[in-house]
Every structure is written in C-alpha cells, then in structure tokens.
Amino acid sequence: MNAVYILWLRQVKRYFRSRPRIIASLGQPLLFLVALGFGFGPIFQRAGQGSYLQFLAPGVIGMTILFTAIFSGIELIWDRQFGFLKETMVAPVPRVYIMAGRTLGGATVALFQGAIVILICFAAGFRVTSFSGVPAAVLFMILVAVMFTALGTAVASLLSDFQGFQLVMNFLVMPIFFLSGALFPLAGLPKALAITASLDPLTYGVDGLRGALIGQAFYAGSLDTLVLVVIASILVIAGAYLFSRIQL
C-alpha cells in the first residue's frame, strides 16, 4: 500500500508545483460563469426558471472535475514516453497498486480544482440553498472525479502519443459535457436528446450536485448515487485491467 500512497502524493505534489497550470485551468470555468451565467441570466429568468447562475454553477463544477480528471491520463503518456513509468512498473508491487495510486492522485487533483471553482462561484454570486447538502455534494464530486480519472487512465493505457489521446478525448469529453444537462434543464427535452442525456454518466453527477446544492434535481439522489457508483466501479476495473496490459 506504500506504493499507492507514494504515487498519490506524487500526483498531488505535481499539481501544486504547477501554478501556471492551476491558473490557466480556471479560464474556462470563469468564461462559462461570466459569459453564460450573466449573459443568459435574463433570458432564463424570463422563462420562469429563476437564476441561471444558480442553475449553471453545479454544471461548471462538474465540468471542471470532468476536464481535470480525464486529462490526468496525459500524465500517464508523459511518464511512459520519458521512462518514469518503466521505472515504476519494474518495482516489486502489483500493477493494480500503481493504477490505484495514480487514479486516487488524479481524482484528488480534480477535487482540488473543483473546490477552487466552488469558491469562484460563490464570488460570482452563487449561494447554496442548504448547507446540509454539502456532504452529499462532496460525495458526488468524489464519484465523478474517480470515474473520469479511471476513464482517462483506461484510454491512456491504449495509446502511446499525446496527439492520439487529445483526439480521442475531444470526441469523448465535449459530448459528455454538453449532453449532461450542465447548461440546460433536463425537463422538457426532446425524446432523443433526453435518452442521450440519460446515457451520459456526467448527467447524474451534475444532477446530484444540483440536488445537493440548490435542491433542483431531476432524478432522485439515490438513483444519481447508484448510477455513479456502478459506472465508477466498472471504469476502475476496466482501467486496472488495461493498465496491467501496458507494454513498455
């Protein structure tokens, strides 16, 4: 288990040492909050939906965790190309421990990034309806972070270059985000879009965050939790299997 802790700590240290990366990664959430939150706010309010900033903030938090978690797979390709992964893999520990350490590290980094965005949302005017829902919101953030970090690891285990990873991730990340209901309500969608959104795992993470923070969930909180736990478990198992088959 020491290997898990060491790799987790390495991931976290790498994050805190890269201050420009932290600042740069906040640009997109800020853009969505300012441009969409305030730009579409009056339209959303006239439609009788209340404050769009309140509605949008949980989606932006989920988006931040998604992007940070899934792109942690790039670090795996980086370590693979520059030899660090080979040094790690020859250590006398099971590969599943190495994968667990990297996944937990990537998920922790995603949670830190999500926490920073929460503070930005508060500064922009977002307010939690009831602080009793904060523990549930943290749980949903953890599940989303673990789920997409495992997915990033699984995809990175199959690829050996940065260009291929970025291409695959763009075909995955953008549809996952835009179809999750992070930017629009799930109620009243056309049937085809509603079915597509229901198949998107991030939908349940964003919906759970909305329910916990502002009490506007579309699905039941228990359903959101169950779906996230099941999908996260499947992706962690798949990621561990694919990581164990990496050829150095």
Other C-beta atoms closer than 10 Å to the C-beta of 219 total: 18
Q: How far apart are the C-alpha atoms of 25 and 154, rounded to whole Å?
A: 23
Other C-beta atoms closer than 10 Å to the C-beta of 241 total: 14
Along the chain (248 residues), what's the average pLDDT of each consecutive run of 10 residues? Answer: 73 72 76 82 76 91 92 79 70 78 89 91 88 93 95 85 75 90 89 93 96 93 96 93 80
Q: What is the pLDDT of residue 78?
A: 78
Cα 128-132-137 angle, rounded to 5 deg: 70
pTM to 2 decimal places = 0.91
Q: Identify the residue whose tokens are 């990175």.
A: 156
User: Taking the C-alpha atoms of 158, 144, 106 and 34 in order, what is their torsion angle to the nearest 10 degrees?
Assistant: 110
Nearest to 29, CA basis, from 72, 70, 61 = 61
Q: What is the pLDDT of residue 91?
A: 66
HEC string of the chain equals: CHHHHHHHHHHHHHHHHCHHHHHHCCHHHHHHHHHHHHCCHHHHHHCCCCCHHHHHHHHHHHHHHHHHHHCCHHHHHHHHHCCHHHHHHCCCCCHHHHHHHHHHHHHHHHHHHHHHHHHHHHHHCCCCCCHHHHHHHHHHHHHHHHHHHHHHHHHHHHCCCHHHHHHHHHHHHHHHHHCCCCCCCCCCCCHHHHHHHHCCHHHHHHHHHHHHHHCCCCCCHHHHHHHHHHHHHHHHHHHHHHHHCCCC
